[in-house]
Amino acid sequence: MANIPVSPQNVLDYHGNNTIFMVWNFKDSVDVKDVFKRICALVINLNHSAGIRFQDDSESCVMGIGHDAWLRLQLPAPLPKELENFAPIAGKKHMAVATKGDLHFHLRSFNNRGICYDMAAAISGVLDPAAVCVEEVHGFRYWDGRSILGFVDGTENPQGEKLRAYFGLIGDDDPAYKGGSYLFVQKYIHDLKAFNALSVPEQEAVFGRHKASDVEMPDDVKPKNSHSAVANIGDDFKIIRDNMPFGNMAANEMGTYFIAYASAFSTVKKMLNKMFIGEPEGNYDRLLDFSVAKTGTLFFVPTLDMLDDFSSD
């Protein structure tokens, strides 16, 4: 297993109680290089400041860069090995859509929602002249780490610092980008009315877990198309999930912001293929009958050292 690099962005910590996710796209016909330098410096500053001001609260700002933005900004070549534009994955019934994203920001705090707001405001102040925010989702911790559907989320995350670094950070196979991470995000909207119409045993069959205890069903009992059966692609292929629920009563948008950090995007793609297409084909994730993916974008998360280089290049 690889040692943890000295300066990765904060992709390995568990999520806090408060998050803001933002996706920005650069405007056409605008010189974005100077703005990008400023935003790289700002991300470093926000993390340093939070570490001093809120030492026990684990505030952080993580920035990811999309494939097309990497090319437009003329960042180093060759690119990270698996950085690409995410291609839609179409199953017989459900689709993992692909959406454009140049920059992604993951802002989080365990207890202080105000610092997330302040970080978002600072980022917007720098980017507004050159980019448009196309997605802003405010996540919150729901009870004991449950999704808005009522089941605990993230149970399959690798445990322990070394394992999380092994599965979450790029290692020696791509030495120029060691310590970086692939970031994949999807915004899911849930049909709560349909899901809540199911009995608890029926809901548990969708997840393959018991609702109250979060105990996984035995393999000989768990349905083959349950979420825990389909989304599990083996102990050698893990990701760092940092999903958060969100909700807007007025717009009737209740969902999950799925966010995965990984040492290889191929791991995420393998999981998505199994969820949306199925193995065998047609055995898709039953949870998708109650969840629609509205976005799907891949980013690369540079180390803080890389951001420092980008800010002064």
pLDDT tens-place values along the chain, 313 residues long = 445 445 999 999 876 789 999 999 999 999 999 999 999 999 999 999 877 777 665 789 999 999 999 999 999 999 999 999 999 999 999 999 999 999 999 999 988 889 999 999 999 999 999 999 999 999 999 999 999 999 999 888 898 889 999 999 999 999 999 999 999 999 999 999 999 999 999 999 999 999 999 999 999 999 999 999 999 898 889 999 999 999 998 988 999 999 999 999 999 999 999 999 999 999 999 999 999 999 999 999 999 999 999 999 6
Residue 200 lies in a domain: yes
Half-sphere exposure of 87 (CA within 13 A, CB side): 8
pTM metric for this prediction? 0.95
**Percent of the chain with pLDDT strictly greater than 90:** 85
What percent of the chain is helix, strand and coil (3-state, nearest 5)?
Answer: 30, 25, 45
Q: Could you list the residue range(s) of the whole structural domain that residue 130 is in?
A: 18-312
Q: List pLDDT tens digits, range 38-68.
A: 999 999 999 998 777 776 657 899 999 999 9
Residue 292 lies in a domain: yes
Clarify whether 309 is annotated catalytic: no
Residue 11 lies in a domain: no
Residue 13 lies in a domain: no
Residue 201 lies in a domain: yes
Q: List pLDDT tens digits, range 12-31.
A: 987 678 999 999 999 999 99
**Position 118, amino acid:** D
Q: What is the pLDDT of residue 56?
A: 62
d(C-alpha 198, C-alpha 183), whole Å: 33
Contact 71, 129 (CB under 8 A): no
Residue 1 lies in a domain: no
Q: What is the pLDDT of residue 55?
A: 63
Q: Of the residues 13, 102, 153, 309, which is catalytic? A: 153
Residue 283 lies in a domain: yes
**The total number of structural domains that make up the chain:** 1
Closest CA relative to residue 274, chosen from 96, 132, 100, 126 = 96
Residue 8 lies in a domain: no
